[in-house]
Amino acid sequence: MKRSLSALLALGLSFTLAILLTTTVDSSVYSQSYPAVVCPPTMSGLSSQISVSSRKTQFQRLENRSTKTIPFNALRLPVSKDSLVISAKGVTPVVWQSRSGSWAGGAICSGPASSQWFVGGSSDITSRGRLIVINSGLSEAIVDVQTYSENGKQPLLSLNLKPKSYSLVNLDALATGDKSLTVHVLPRSGRINAFMIDELGSGLRALGGDLVNPITAASKTLVIPAIPNQLPKKGKKSTAPKTLRILAPSDVDATFTLELLSADGSFVPVGFNSRSISAGVVSEFTLSPKISATVFAARIKSNEPVVAAILSQAKIKERTDFLWSTPTPALVPMAIAITGLVPTIVFTSDAIAVKVEVTFINGKKTLATIKGSDIATWRVPKATRSISIMQTSAETHAGALIASDNGYGYIPITPGSLLTRVEIPHSNIRVLNP
């Protein structure tokens, strides 16, 4: 009996010991890093400034053969020509481009993307827009550009890009004569970013322009958080209407509902409840909401994945500029560099609760908490270097509206480069065993 009990005890002890000794054997080890972000080049006649959060932020010019990086030594760098590759370390740089006396627009500098949708631009006679496709990699790249218009899907355009180079595609060449474009940039290989400049002109008269921010993927729910609503001066006519451009890229027609959210409340404009659109055809709808607030947001729900953006006209110094408000993904903790800009950030959610840390140019920091429901606007203090979203409520979306002497711009509040968690591979001969 004694030996039997001893044997049982030994078994119990070994089991206990095994549980205590068992270390979680996880063969996966990860390396975390922020991929370098790419800012668009400056086209002829444009001026461009890139805001960063630190003077020590490293960058390299795209067309430099060397991979060596150098520091910015400034918080806002005017860029005359080149596209820059910036090691932003998690703080998303913002590029602000403008054509003096004509238009202005903003975009975030972002890391390589596997898919980008640009809802904006035109191929008609007024179009002076361009699609900029950048290969920041050290190998050749192949990129497919698929254009959709009001006439449906256009022939596929394939681009071959040399290492560290970019390619310019005139928008009027994508679907010649068509008015409403939506462009899908799909890299087949290489480290690819794309930007779209939508610029319109009629003869010598500039009709405005904007940097169209991309959408990563089509979705059944889209939230466009910041749409400017320039109120008419007393006694003047009502503001220019907005235009909703929407595309269901799949093979099935979609039915969508548009809901507007503003300080006046949320509502579905007449005619936008369960509205059908044809698959593969870019549709445009005019919006003339009677909203008293200066900004509002839009939420689109569809039974099929769609991409959409809202075009707004705005007058500045008796000139007309336009901007494309694009959907943003849900807000996540992040940081964005806005040196030199004073944006108004619009948050949209059923219940908004966002804690923001503001870092001023002098290095001082302050915290701000934005609360509200449906929509809340927050104007960033002057001399701000960067803002960091510290905490955010669920399903909150944010966009920034920026006004300047040259025009208006829109920037989605979303990280340009996500913290990439790459698994460190380990050697295992098993990979050679089918």
Partner 1 sequence: MAAQAALDRHRVSAIIVSHDGQSWLPQTVAALASQTRAVDYVVAVDTGSKDSSLQLLKSARIRVINAARDCGFGEAISIGVDSLDSAQADTIEWIWLIHDDCAPAPTALEFLLAAIDDRPQVAMVGPKLLGWHNRTHLLEVGVSIAGNGARWTGLEPLEYDQGQHDGVHDVLSVSTAGALIRRDIFEEIGGFDKNLALFRDDVDFGWRARVAGHSVIAASSAVVFHAQASATERRSVDVGGAILQRPLLLDRRNAAYVLLANSSWWLIPWLAIQLLSSAMLRAIGYLLAKLPGYASDELLAIATLLIKPGLIIKARRNRKAHRFVSARIVSSYIPPRWSQLRLSTSGFVEALRSRLLPESAPGQRSILDSVEDEDLLVPAQSVRWFAIFRRPEVTGFLFLAVITLIASRMRLGSLIGGALPASPSGARDLWQMYFQSWHQVGMGSSYASPPWIAVVAVFASILFGKAPLLLTLFFLTAPLLMMWSILTLLRKLTQNPWISVPASFIYAISPVAIAAVNSGRLATVVTLIIAPQVPLLLTNWKRIELQSWRKIFTLTLLVGFLYAFTLIAFVTLLGLVAFALFADYKEVFNDRPLFLERLYKRAVILFVPFILNAPYSFQALTTPSRFLSEPGVSLPGGGSHLVILGNPGGVGALPWWLISPMLLILVVALFSSSSAKTIALYGSGFLSAAVFFSSLAIATHGDSARVNVWTGTFLVGATIAATAAGVVILDRLRAILVTSNFHFRHILAALLLFLTALYTVLTLGWSVTAGATSPVQSSSSTVMPAFLSVEKDTKTLVLREMGSVGAKSIQYYISRGKDIILGEPDVAPRQTQQIAVAAQELIDGSGISSSKTFADFGIKYVFVKLPFDRNIIRTIDGLGGFSRASATSTGVVWRVAGVTGRLILVGEDGVRELLETGEVGARTTVAYPGRVLLTENYDRSWQILQNGYRLQRVVSEQGLPLFIATESGEISLIHDGTIRRAWISFEIIAWVVLLIFAAPAGRRKREIFEKELA
Decide: is 422 part of the binding site for partner 1 (CB under 8 A). Answer: yes
C-alpha pair distances (Å), 13 with each of 3, 10, 21, 377: 15, 5, 12, 63
**Segment lying near partner 1 (by CB under 8 A), choices 100-108, 188-196, 228-236, 366-374:** 188-196
Label each residue of 361-405 as H, E or C.
Answer: CCCCEEEEEEEEEEEEEEECCCCEEEEEEEECCCCCEEEEEEECC
Decide: is 66 part of the binding site for partner 1 (CB under 8 A). Answer: no
Decide: is 63 part of the binding site for partner 1 (CB under 8 A). Answer: no
Site for partner 1 in 377-396 (CB under 8 A): none
State how far the Cα of 338 lies from the Cα of 361, in Å rounded to an integer: 10
Question: Pick from 64, 100, 139, 160: which binds partner 1 (CB under 8 A)?
Answer: 139
Question: Pick from 176, 189, 243, 257: which binds partner 1 (CB under 8 A)?
Answer: 189
Q: What is the dihedral of CA 223, 375, 244, 290, to 10 degrees?
A: 160
Decide: is 14 part of the binding site for partner 1 (CB under 8 A). Answer: yes
Question: Pick from 105, 120, 187, 201: which binds partner 1 (CB under 8 A)?
Answer: 187
Decide: is 160 part of the binding site for partner 1 (CB under 8 A). Answer: no
Decide: is 10 part of the binding site for partner 1 (CB under 8 A). Answer: yes
Decide: is 35 part of the binding site for partner 1 (CB under 8 A). Answer: yes
The interface mask with partner 1, positions 76-115, x = CB under 8 A, is ------------------------------------x-x-
CB contact at 8 A, 190 and 139:
yes
Choice between 19 and 204, CB closer to partner 1: 19
State how far the Cα of 288 lies from the Cα of 367, in Å rounded to an integer: 37
State how far the Cα of 109 lies from the Cα of 417, in Å rounded to an integer: 8
CB contact at 8 A, 357 and 367:
yes
DSSP assignment letter at 226: E
Q: To the nearest whole angstrom, how small is the minimum distance from the Cβ of residue 426 to partner 1?
A: 5
Choice between 27 and 73, CB closer to partner 1: 27
Q: To the nearest whole angstrom, how small is the minimum distance from the Cβ of residue 374 to partner 1?
A: 36
Question: Pick from 191, 242, 385, 397: which binds partner 1 (CB under 8 A)?
Answer: 191
Which two tokens mark 88?
């932003």
